Amino acid sequence: MAMEILDPTVEPRKQPLTFVPRPDSLTGKRIGLVENTKYNSDKILAKIGEILKKEYGAAECTMWRKHNSSVPAHQEIIDEAKRGVDVVVAGIGD
Amino acid sequence: MLDGIVFEKVGIPAASIVTDVFEGTGRAMAVAWGVPNYKFLALPHPIANLTDAQLEQRAREIAPEIVKLLLQGQE
Amino acid sequence: MTTQIESKRYPVEDLSHAIEFCYQQGWTDGLPVVPPTERAVQAMLEAAGLEPRQQVAFITNRQVAVTAEKIAINAVMAGCLPEYMPVVVAAIEGIADPKWGYHGPATSTGGAAVLMIVNGPMAARLKFNSGDNLFGPGWRSNATVGRAVRLVMRNVIGTLPGALDRGTVGHPGKYSYVIAENEVESPWAPLHVERGFTPEQSTVTVMSAEGPHQFYNQLSSTAKGVLTSLCEDMKHHGSTNGQPQYCVVLAGEHMRTIANDGWSKKEIQQFVYENTHNSVAHLKRTERLAGALTAADETTMRPLVPSPQDVLVVAAGGRAGAFSCYIPGWAGGKKSSQSITKLIQDRRV
């Protein structure tokens, strides 16, 4: 007996995202590091930050820790980043 | 992974890093957020049990890719 | 119902083709589903007094709007009766709550499932099991309501194994993980009343949770005796890093022993909190906390749970048997995911 069944799934929303213009180099740039609270995330990001300063000319690094790994960076981090950094590196562990 | 997208939306160029076993998960998040081709980076997994020297090594290996992603972006 | 159902439709030849089709599309949890016809989905929506387009929840981390229509389709697939729909809706509201923090528990390698505890008159009316074989099969409401929530997580919110569900080992609660509290025989205030609801209201409490850890005590005739065995088992459990909430489910024999000793849920919570501490030294020696051992670590005690109130006590399980259980919350901890209690609402006019 022919019948019709309904689709239980949804399609992801299309969300246009205009990517931010990039700097030409990291010289003199302020780096924001956002670590996700997982073990060694902060350590490895700090080392990355040091390399960006020593070898790519970045001026300084600021590290932020998220509330937890389940949520994106919280509003205070975003506000401080908008005021104080030029680029962000975010990550990383499980 | 989502943090990179969040920072782009607020106007700050960003590079997201995951560990490699989570690349599929990161890709699924990008699809969910409507940016299926979003570029992000992967380090070998795990990092939780690495020594300081090993973490330094991993940082060295990925730094050039981070710089490339920060400067060249998503285009 | 005033608005139309908008989901895409697929023609199928007959029932067995429909069942196979659902498998091929990746819409199932591995078990066959009931093919969702429009008529069945409408009955589900009418029983809950919801319009198809009504947004029940928005999962921010996934950018997904969960509509009544999609919940109804998945509830039909799970095998729910229409009268179960309000319970499913309340559970979805619970897991969409920012304090439940969808991303962590759903995606984490920690492999937590959604423990659902039903309280109030609807539990008995809809025949939710609160007794023998509590976490096992046999009751349509327990089995299908939990399954409906999981199918929504899978089909609507995209929580697919290997992609956005990375539970390393997971557990069978990810099929369905629903119990009711045995309010008839329990001497204590039910969970929902402790959380501020009236006894006449019906609720579902969702908690991101590992599997049940059974513990045994047949010798004790005192509350302290029974709970000492519980605490001895519980404190060795590994998630000391995250400090999640825990649920302690006390079955018939243990429930009566503790109650006969005059202990309330508050006293149980306080005892469990105090007797599940570990020294930091022990945690470091057993590689559960990082860092070099210091002398001070021997006497620095770390609680298993953030506070006594983070031990949820539920009276449920069979009358016979010297077994109860504790259920650890998701390893990410209370700071990332808290148990949430939602009212089961009758929205029919």
B16-50 residue pLDDT tens: 999 999 999 999 999 999 999 999 999 999 999 99
What is the C-alpha radius of gyration for chain C, rounded to an integer number of angstroms?
21
For helices C85-96 and C68-78, the axis angle rounded to 10 degrees is: 120
Between helix C223-234 and helix C265-274 the angle, nearest 10°, is: 40
Distance from CA of A67 to the nearest CA of C (A): 8
* Any B CB within 8 A of C292 CB: no
User: Is the N-terminal amide bond of B13 cis, ω within 30° of 0?
Assistant: no
> Can you give the pLDDT at residue A72?
84
Name residues 40-59 of chain A within 8 A of B (Cβ): 40-41, 43-44, 47-48, 50-52, 55-56
Best of B22, B47, B65 to disrupt the A interface (most A CBs within 10 Å) is B47
Residues 6+ apart with CB under 8 A from C236: none
* pLDDT at A73 exceeding the cut of 90: no
Touching check for B28 and chain A: CB below 8 Å? no
> Would you place residue A37 in the very low, low, confident or very high pLDDT band (cuts 50, 70, 90)?
confident
- C228: enclosing H helix or E strand: helix C223-234
Give residues with Cβ within 8 angstroms of C294, minimum separation 6.
none
Note the pLDDT of residue C250.
98
- Measured in residues, chain A has a length of 94
Higher pLDDT among residues A74 and C8, named by residue: C8
> So what's the pLDDT on residue C338?
96
Has this prediction a pTM greater than 0.80? Answer: yes
Q: How many structural domains does chain B have? A: 1
Residues of chain C with pLDDT under 70: 1-2, 238-240
Residues 6+ apart with CB under 8 A from C12: A2, A3, A4, A5, C18, C21, C35
pLDDT of residue C349: 79
Smallest Cβ–Cβ distance between A51 and the set B32, B59, B71 belongs to B59
Name the β-bridge partners of C67. C55
Instruction: Please report the pLDDT score of residue C240 as a whole number.
Output: 59
ipTM: 0.94
Span A50-71, pLDDT tens digits: 999 999 999 999 999 998 877 8
Q: Could you say which residues from 4 to 43 on chain A have a Cβ atom under 8 Å away from some Cβ of chain B?
A: 12-17, 19-26, 32, 34, 36, 38-41, 43
What is the spatial distance between Cα C257 and Cα C308, in angstroms, rounded to a whole number?
Answer: 21
Name the C residues in 101-160 with CB < 8 Å from any A CB: 101-105, 109, 151, 155-156, 158
Residue A71: the pLDDT is 82
- Inter-residue contact C1 to C347 (CB < 8 Å): no
* Domain interval for residue B44: 2-72
pLDDT of residue C254: 97
Peptide bond into A92 cis (omega under 30): yes
- pLDDT tens for each residue of C222-248: 999 999 999 999 998 866 578 999 999
